[in-house]
C-alpha cells in the first residue's frame, strides 16, 4: 500500500504570518493536531503542531493576566514557533516506510509531496487506520494467531485447509517468530465457526496455535 491511498488529500494549511490564536481555532474546528505551513507561492515553509503551541505558551507562573496572555498569542505568528526543517515523503512511498520514518524521528505526521507541491499529509491516525484494516479489525469472524514453520508452501496449505471448510480469509499479517525457523501469523476468518477453524488448522503440519478468539 502506498501513501497516496491513506493520506489526507489537499490538507488544510496556514501561512507563516497566521496568528497562533487563529491557527489554534482552525485546528479545533478541523479536529486536527498538525497543519502544514505554506508560503504565498504555495511552497512548503514548515509545519505547526499543537505541541508547538503548548511549548510557546507563557508559563503558568507568569504574572500576566488573561487579557495580556490573549493579546500576546494574537500577536504571535506561526513562523515564530513552527518547525522549519520538515521531513516529507512522496505520494508513491510505501506506508511502512512512512511509519518507520515517523517512529524513528518521533514525529506524528509527514507532509506528502509531488515534486515541490504539497498534495497531502499522513498522520499517526492514518497509520492506525491502516493497522486496523490490515488485521481485519472491523470484520466479524474468528481471529487466529499461529506459529508456522518458515518453509515454502506453508501458507498455501493453510489457505487450502481453511477453504476446504468453507472459510474465507479476510486478513493475513505475518511477523517474525521467536526464532529464524518460524513466523508468527495472525489472520481473521469468516463464514466458519471457531471449532471448524480449529479442525482445519489441525490438518496443517508445523502450525502451532498461539491464540484464537471470536
Name the pairing type of β-strands 89-90 and 8-9: unpaired
pLDDT of residue 187: 95
Cell numbers placing 151 = 518453509
How far is it, in rounded angstroms, from Cα 27 to Cα 35?
Answer: 8
What is the pLDDT, as a whole number, of residue 76? 87
* pLDDT for residue 60: 47
pLDDT at site 69:
60
Q: Are 61 and 70 in contact (CB under 8 A)?
A: no
Give average pLDDT by consecutive 10-residue segment, the chain, 214 residues.
95 95 93 96 96 72 54 82 96 97 96 96 95 91 94 90 95 92 94 94 89 92
| Among 122, 120, 118, 121, CA closest to 44 | 118
SS3 of 92-157: CCEHHHHHHHHHHHCCCEEEEEECCEEEEEEEHHHHHHHHHHHCCCCCCCEEEEEEEECCCCHHHH
Asked whether 78 and 18 are in contact (CB, 8 A), the reply is yes
Q: What angle is formed at CA 155 by the lines to CA 150 and CA 158, rounded to 5 degrees?
A: 120
Question: CA-CA distance, 115 to 202, in Å (whole number)?
Answer: 52
Distance between the two ends of the chain, CA-based, in angstroms? 27
> Domains of the chain by range and CATH?
3-131 (3.10.580.10), 136-213 (3.30.70.260)
pLDDT at 53: 84
65: left (phi over 0), alpha (psi -120 to 50) or beta: beta
- Residue 53: how many CB atoms within 10 A of its CB? 19
Sheet with 142-149, strands from edge to edge, namely: 168-176, 182-190, 142-149, 207-213
Amino acid at each position: 500500500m502506498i501513501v497516496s491511498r491513506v493520506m489526507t488529500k489537499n490538507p488544510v494549511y496556514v501561512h507563516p504570518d497566521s496568528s497562533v490564536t487563529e491557527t489554534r481555532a482552525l485546528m479545533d474546528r478541523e479536529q486536527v493536531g498538525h497543519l502544514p505551513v505554506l508560503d504565498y507561492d504555495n511552497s512548503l515553509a514548515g509545519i505547526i503542531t499543537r505541541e508547538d503551541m503548548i511549548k510557546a505558551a507563557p508559563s503558568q507562573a507568569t504574572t500576566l493576566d488573561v487579557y495580556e496572555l490573549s493579546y500576546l498569542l494574537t500577536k504571535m505568528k506561526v513562523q515564530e514557533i513552527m518547525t522549519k526543517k520538515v521531513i516529507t515523503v512522496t505520494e508513491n512511498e510505501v506506508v511502512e516506510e512512512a511509519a518507520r520514518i515517523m517512529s524513528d524521528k518521533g514525529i506524528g505526521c509527514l507532509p506528502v509531496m509531488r515534486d515541490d507541491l504539497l498534495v497531502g499529509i499522513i498522520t499517526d491516525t492514518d497509520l492506525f487506520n491502516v493497522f486496523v484494516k490490515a488485521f481485519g479489525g472491523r470484520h466479524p469472524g474468528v481471529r487466529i494467531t499461529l506459529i508456522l514453520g518458515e518453509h515454502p508452501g506453508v501458507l498455501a496449505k493453510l489457505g487450502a485447509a481453511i477453504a476446504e471448510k468453507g472459510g474465507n480469509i479476510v486478513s493475513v499479517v505475518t511477523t517474525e517468530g521467536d526464532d529464524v525457523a518460524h513466523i508468527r501469523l495472525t489472520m481473521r476468518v469468516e463464514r466458519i465457526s471457531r471449532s471448524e477453524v480449529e479442525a482445519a488448522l489441525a490438518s496443517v503440519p508445523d502450525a502451532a496455535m498461539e491464540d484464537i478468539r471470536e
